Amino acid sequence: MSEPLTATVPRQLVHRAAVAETLLTGWRRTGTDQFRVAAQWPRAHPLHVSSDRTAYEPLLVTETVRQSGTLLAHAEYEVPLGYRFVLQELRVATRPEYLRVGRMPAEPDVDVQIFDVRQRAGRPAAFRLSAAVTIDDTQVASAYFAASWTSEPVYRRLRGGRGAADVTALAPPPGLSPTEVDRTVPGDVVLAATDRPGRWQLRVDTAHPVFFDHPLDHVPGMLLLEAARQAVQVVSGGKSVPVSYRATFDRYAELDRPTWIEAECGADGELQVLGVQGDSAVFACRVGIVEC
C-alpha cells in the first residue's frame, strides 16, 4: 500500500472496533525500519478536538502515533492479529500554534523510525518508535513510545485468567462539572471529586464509545492520559492547556478497584500526575502546559 487511500486502513490493524475511531489512511516504507503513515483528523471529536472546535488536542497526536505503531507492527513486522499491545512508555510534544482546525479535515503525515526491535521465537515481541508529525510539510509534533506484544494465551496467564467477560467494573461515581474540565457532556468527564485537594477518583465507564471502543479487562492508557488532561483544567482553573505528555505505565489498572488520580505542580512548571491503586502507582505522567 504505497499511497494514502480514500478510506481508512482496516480497523483491526489499529485495534479499533469503530471505523469512526480509525485515523489512518495508508502507509509506505521509506527506508530501513522507516515509514511514512498517512492520517486524517476529524474537525470535530468529543475528546480530541477542543470544545469550541478550534484546535486539535495533543491526545489526538498520541492516538495517531499509537495507531501508527500498531499498524506497522502487524503490517510490516508480522505481529499476528489478536496479539495484545502493551504500552510501557510514551512521550509526545506538540506545537499548538500549528494544531488549529481548518475548513477541511487535517491530513497529517507521521514519519516513523522503528528501533530496538526485540525478538521472541523468531517474531518481534517489542520495539521502540520515534515519530515526527507534519501537516503541509510543517512539523507539528514529535513522539516516542516503547511497546511490546504478547499472544492471547500468554496474556491470559499474565493476567491470572482475568478477561473482559470475567471482571465487573466499579460503578462510576458522579463526575465533576463538564465545564470544569473543558468537556461538553457529563459522560466525557473522567474525574470525580474527593475530600482531598489535588486528588480525584477516576471515573471508568466501560460503555464509553471512545475509551472502551471494544471490551477491555483493564483501564486503557488513553483514559489515564485523559485524566491527566482534565487534571490540568481543574488545577489551573481552565487557564492552562496541555502541550506535552511524558508517561510511564507501570502495571495494569484494574477495573474492579478504585483508581485515584493525584496531581501537583512541579518546580519546572509541569503538572505531575499519578494514577494510584492501593499503595502502588499504575501510571505516572508529567504534563507540559501553557497558559491560554
Q: What is the pLDDT of residues 77-128, one digit of tens each?
A: 999 999 999 999 999 999 999 999 999 999 999 999 999 999 988 888 999 9
Last residue of a domain, one of 129, 157, 185: 157
Rounded CA gap, 121 and 89, in Å? 24
The per-residue pLDDT of the chain, averaged, comes to: 94
For residues 146 and 170, membership in a common domain is answered with: no
Contacts of 20 (CB under 8 A, 6+ apart): none
For residues 30 and 106, membership in a common domain is answered with: yes
What per-residue confidence (pLDDT) applies to 225?
Answer: 98
Last residue of a domain, one of 157, 177, 204: 157
Residue 69 lies in a domain: yes
188-233 per-position pLDDT tens digit: 999 999 999 999 999 999 999 999 999 999 999 999 999 999 999 9
Residue 1 lies in a domain: no
For residues 123 and 173, membership in a common domain is answered with: no
For residues 172 and 266, membership in a common domain is answered with: yes
For residues 148 and 178, membership in a common domain is answered with: no
228-237 per-position pLDDT tens digit: 999 999 999 9
For residues 144 and 16, membership in a common domain is answered with: yes
E-assigned strand segments in the chain = 24-31, 34-39, 84-94, 109-120, 123-135, 138-150, 191-193, 199-202, 240-249, 260-265, 271-277, 280-291
CATH of the domain at 210: 3.10.129.10
What is the count of structural domains for the chain? 2
Buried b (16+ CB within 10 A) or exposed e, 214-227: eebbbbbbbbbbbb
Last residue of a domain, one of 139, 157, 175: 157
Instruction: Provide the residue range defining the domain that includes 238.
Output: 160-291
